[in-house]
Amino acid sequence: MSVYKLAGVNIVFEVFDGEIVAVHLDSGKYYSLKDSAAYVWNAMLANQSNLAISQRLSSHYQLDEALTLNQIDDFIHQLVQEGLLVANGDSPDPTGLLEQPQGLYVAPTFAVFSDMQEILLLDPVHDVDDAGWPIAKN
């Protein structure tokens, strides 16, 4: 049983109509998590274990428990590799399980975007020209 948390203050996220958009401020990448991926993200941040999350999803959608746990573990591993989550030494919170999953189940995944990397990595306080406009460092 594993519990995870945000990797630090350099990870920010917002919910837009059920979609999680997470930004890694140090890398300039941003991520889109929808459907079951958004559910897993929210459950992890509610201090739920990978096992509890997979049990909830497999029960709700009548899925194979072992397969669902593998999918959740793969998804979490990818989020850890991207630097969005780290293992949390806390015990899971059995009372913090979130709302019922919504929509159809699809194995959780995310999309990664780097098209705004240069803009997100600018420091608008320090990286400015004489006119006050942000500029990228060479």
pLDDT tens across the length of the chain (138 residues): 688 999 999 899 999 988 999 999 888 899 999 999 999 999 998 889 999 999 999 999 999 999 999 999 999 999 999 999 999 877 777 776 667 888 889 999 999 998 776 666 555 554 555 555 555 555
The CA–CA distances, whole Å, from 40 to 96, 127, 128, 135 equal: 13, 37, 39, 37
Domain boundaries in the chain?
4-94+102-120
Predicted pLDDT of residue 12:
92
Predicted pLDDT of residue 11:
92
Contacts of 96 (CB under 8 A, 6+ apart): 46, 47, 48
- Give the 3-state secondary structure of residue 29: strand
Residue 86 bridge partners (DSSP): 5
Predicted pLDDT of residue 126:
47
pTM over 0.75: yes
Report the C-alpha gap between 12 and 9 in whole angstroms. 7
With CA atoms as reference, report the closest residue to 43 among 82, 99, 1.
99
The CA–CA distances, whole Å, from 67 to 14, 40, 102, 108, 124 equal: 29, 15, 19, 12, 46
